[in-house]
Amino acid sequence: MYTHRPVHHRASLWLVAILGTIALSLATVASAHAEEAPAEGSPNDLNCIGHISQGTPELGSEEHQVRYTLYCNGPITGYQLETNIPVTGFEPAPLVTSNTTNQALSDTFTCGGELPGWADNCEGSTKAGWETVTGQFAIGTPLCAEPRVDPLLTVTAIYVEKGVTTQAISGPFDLGRPLHCPTTGYAGGTRLDPATPLPSKGKAGKHKKGKGGKATKKTTQGKAKKK
């Protein structure tokens, strides 16, 4: 009889133990930002709102900065801003603040993406709903020039349901056209609800009025007919 287990058997036990430790570590990392699924409703039904405006110029850059502000009614673990104007730069670390106290929180996001590109991709977490995320990205055209930038927001959320870590996705949400820009024929329209441009107020098709306020008809010789 063997008084000890064979070497290959002990090695197998060590391998199983190591693999178990790695699996446990991966599960811990995956669920680090996960929240319990809500008792009612679907995690895919998060509602988010926000807007964009003129950003703070960056020293040494001629790019036009666009500031965005957004918040959702539940915690999120990532978001994407998909634009209709090429993105030429982005702020790597947006600020997360409390929507009630306006104080900065420890919650963070890290943003990146292809440049020039069409999206600003950010991953991180908010621990609760209604936390405000404020950041910037850059474009190569003036903020108020037509067609104006109008980003669509999509958010993700990792949650645990019956012990399984799952990812939900919500959106897109339209952040709208930039605030504080001059009104144009597109006023009121967004990418998800576009408006038809208003017709220009030209002078074509109008008749010249006479002294009595009535339009006069002209002959081919340019003289008014006499009855």
Q: List pLDDT tens digits, range 53-67.
A: 999 999 888 999 999
Report if residue 105 sits inside a domain: yes
In a domain, 64, yes or no: yes
196 within some domain: no
Q: Is residue 32 part of a domain?
A: no
Q: How many domains does the chain have?
A: 1
pTM: 0.70
Q: How far apart are CA 170 and CA 84, in angstroms?
A: 20
* Statement: residue 213 has pLDDT above 60: no
pLDDT band at 162 (very low <50, low <70, confident <90, very high): confident
Q: What's the confidence (pLDDT) of residue 211?
A: 52
Polymer length of the chain: 227
Q: How confident is the model at residue 24 (pLDDT cuts 50, 70, 90)?
A: very low
In a domain, 28, yes or no: no
**CATH code for position 55:** 2.60.40
Residue recorded with tokens 């997360």: 96
Examine residue 89 and state whether it is found in any structural domain, yes or no: yes
pLDDT at 105: 97
Evaluate the CA torsion angle 174, 180, 184, 185 in order and state its sign: positive
Tell me how far apart the alpha carbons of residues 16 and 166 are, in angstroms, rounded to a whole number. Answer: 26
Average pLDDT (99-103) is 91
Nearest to 169 by CA among 150, 153, 192: 153
* Long-range CB contacts (within 8 A, 24+) of 99-104: 99/71, 99/130, 99/131, 99/132, 100/130
Enclosing domain of residue 143:
43-174
Does a structural domain hold residue 103? yes
In a domain, 26, yes or no: no
pLDDT given for residue 189 in this prediction: 82
